[in-house]
């Protein structure tokens, strides 16, 4: 795969519904290059998260970008390698999700609103974080991708974006 030519796999690709493998500690340079290219593609497509299976790689990494309010709003990028949902509260909230891999599909999904997560970044530093709201939502959506789960799996609440 050419890192500079990343693109989304077809929505019917079996890669999207395959469980991805753990990443062994390897060249952080490659991971930095790949995650940088993924963040670029994600922004180009107007998304807030992108997982490796979406670009044809069944490995456990995703990138996410979320708004941070501190004085003025800016975006915090996260590169999450071998991410784990460590704990979650029982309070669920419903939100409508869409997915770059499934254009024109929106699904109303109930998920825990507060979670505790862990992951490695591209320099192989270990992080644990408490996430809530939109950040918890994006993390869980992207983590689903690594387990081969698309939003259409929650198909009780599926509807078309166009009406």
Question: Longest Cα pair distance anywhere in the chain, in angstroms?
Answer: 46
Nearer to Zn ion, 42 or 99 (CB): 99
> What order do you get walking across the sheet with 158-160 strand by strand?
92-98, 105-112, 158-160
Q: Which helix (H) or strand (E) holds 135?
A: helix 133-146
Burial of 46 (0-12, 13-18, 19+ CB in 10 A): exposed
Q: Which residues bind Zn ion (CB under 5 A)?
A: 99
Q: Which residue is nearest to Zn ion (CB)?
A: 99
Give the three-state DSSP class for 104. coil
Nearer to Zn ion, 97 or 113 (CB): 97
142 belongs to the catalytic site: yes
Burial of 75 (0-12, 13-18, 19+ CB in 10 A): exposed
Nearer to Zn ion, 101 or 122 (CB): 101
Tell me the closest approach of the beta carbon of residue 64 to Zn ion, in angstroms: 11
Residues with catalytic annotation?
A: 142
């Amino acid at each position: 795969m050419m890192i500079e030519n990343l693109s989304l796999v077809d929505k019917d690709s079996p890669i999207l519904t395959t469980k991805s493998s753990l990443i062994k500690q390897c060249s952080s340079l490659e991971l930095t290059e790949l995650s940088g290219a993924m963040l670029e593609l994600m922004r180009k497509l107007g998304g807030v998260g992108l997982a490796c299976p979406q670009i044809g790689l069944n490995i456990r990494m995703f990138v996410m970008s979320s708004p941070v309010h501190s004085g003025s709003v800016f975006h915090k990028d996260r590169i999450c390698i071998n991410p784990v949902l460590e704990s979650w509260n029982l309070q669920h909230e419903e939100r409508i999700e869409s997915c770059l891999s499934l254009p024109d599909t929106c699904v109303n999904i109930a998920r825990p609103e507060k979670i505790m997560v862990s992951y490695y970044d591209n320099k192989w530093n270990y992080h644990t974080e408490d996430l809530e709201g939109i950040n918890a939502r994006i993390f869980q959506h992207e983590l689903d991708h690594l387990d081969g789960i698309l939003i259409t799996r929650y198909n009780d609440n599926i509807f078309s974006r166009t009406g």
